[in-house]
């Protein structure tokens, strides 16, 4: 302690109180400890070790452990950035689990971090791709039994739909195969409000997930009225109704 006191007095020419000197020593010690600290080594459990992209079918559970070892033997905590809404990460064990829904089909870039309450920390980013089951994608007419089908439940979001928000409402559904599709939107009096034709193989008529946007404008060019509306998904090949979606509109 006396040695540090003399060093500080010689460097600054000032007289410090002992408590200030102690505070300085603590800061020096923390800085030295941070320099000596090494980041934990982070990786995913064996099945996904080394992978930067993981695929999962919606409705199926994905789970794995984050594995980290700290060279100094410090306790490790696990964090995640951009975690999906319904996923779970245990900060103590590193266990991650997630069962994505049909609304979550797409790509999610998640960054996992292992830290020991010191610096530096170590992060690992992984892209998780939520997809439609391969058995339902690209099915031929013969494998689909010769008929076009909607897989799962079609839906609309946001719901309810606020027309004054300036946003579109998304009509989402999954087709078993490419097909020419017409979406007919009715009001509660069975009056046709809007027709949307989707070409075979294009958005709205392709195998797999389809997201068709509607801006709330009717066939007459005006805004749709408030209330419940029904979007009917029709196969143009045989005029078969494949599914229906409820859309609640308010302004």
Q: Dump pLDDT digits (tens) for 160-212.
A: 999 888 899 999 999 988 999 999 999 988 899 999 999 999 999 998 889 99
Low-confidence spans in the chain with pLDDT less than 50: 1-2, 4-5, 14, 16, 26, 28-35, 134-145
Indicate the SS3 state at residue 73: coil
Could you tell me the pTM of the whole model?
Answer: 0.48
CA atoms of 141 and 234, how far apart (whole Å): 17
Does residue 148 sit in the same domain as residue 104? no
Does residue 31 form part of some domain? no
Does residue 170 form part of some domain? yes
Say what the pLDDT of residue 74 is: 73
Q: Which domain holds residue 219?
A: 135-250
Whether residue 106 contacts residue 97, with contact meaning beta carbons closer than 8 Å, is answered with no
Last residue of a domain, one of 92, 113, 131: 131
Last residue of a domain, one of 113, 131, 149: 131
Say what the pLDDT of residue 212 is: 96
**DSSP tally for the chain: helices H, then strands E:** 2, 16
Say what the pLDDT of residue 251 is: 82
Q: Which residues, 6+ apart, have CB-to-CB distance to 13 below 8 Å?
A: none
Nearest-5° angle of CA 160, CA 162, CA 164?
175
Say what the pLDDT of residue 20 is: 57
Say what the pLDDT of residue 96 is: 94
């Amino acid at each position: 302690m006396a040695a540090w006191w003399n060093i500080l007095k010689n460097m600054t020419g000032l007289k410090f109180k002992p408590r200030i000197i102690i505070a300085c020593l603590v800061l020096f010690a923390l800085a030295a400890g941070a320099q000596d600290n090494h980041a934990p080594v982070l990786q995913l459990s064996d099945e996904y070790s080394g992978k930067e992209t993981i695929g999962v079918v919606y409705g199926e559970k994905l789970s794995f452990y984050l594995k980290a070892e700290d060279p100094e033997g410090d306790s490790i905590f696990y964090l995640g950035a951009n975690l999906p809404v319904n996923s779970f990460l245990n900060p103590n064990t590193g266990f991650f689990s997630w069962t994505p829904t049909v609304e979550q089909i797409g790509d999610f870039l998640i960054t996992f971090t292992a830290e020991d309450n010191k610096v530096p920390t170590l992060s690992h980013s992984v892209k998780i791709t939520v997809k439609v089951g391969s058995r339902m994608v690209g099915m031929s007419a013969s494998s689909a039994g010769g008929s076009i089908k909607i897989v799962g439940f079609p839906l609309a979001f946001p719901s309810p739909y606020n027309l004054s928000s300036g946003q579109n409402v998304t009509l989402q559904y999954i087709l078993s195969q490419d097909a020419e599709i017409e979406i007919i939107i009715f009001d509660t009096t069975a009056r046709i409000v809007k027709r949307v034709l989707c070409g075979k193989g294009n958005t709205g008529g392709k195998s797999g997930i389809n997201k068709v946007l509607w801006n709330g404008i009717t066939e007459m060019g005006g805004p749709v009225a408030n209330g419940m509306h029904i979007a009917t998904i029709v196969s143009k090949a045989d005029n078969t109704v494949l599914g229906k979606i409820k859309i609640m509109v308010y302004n």
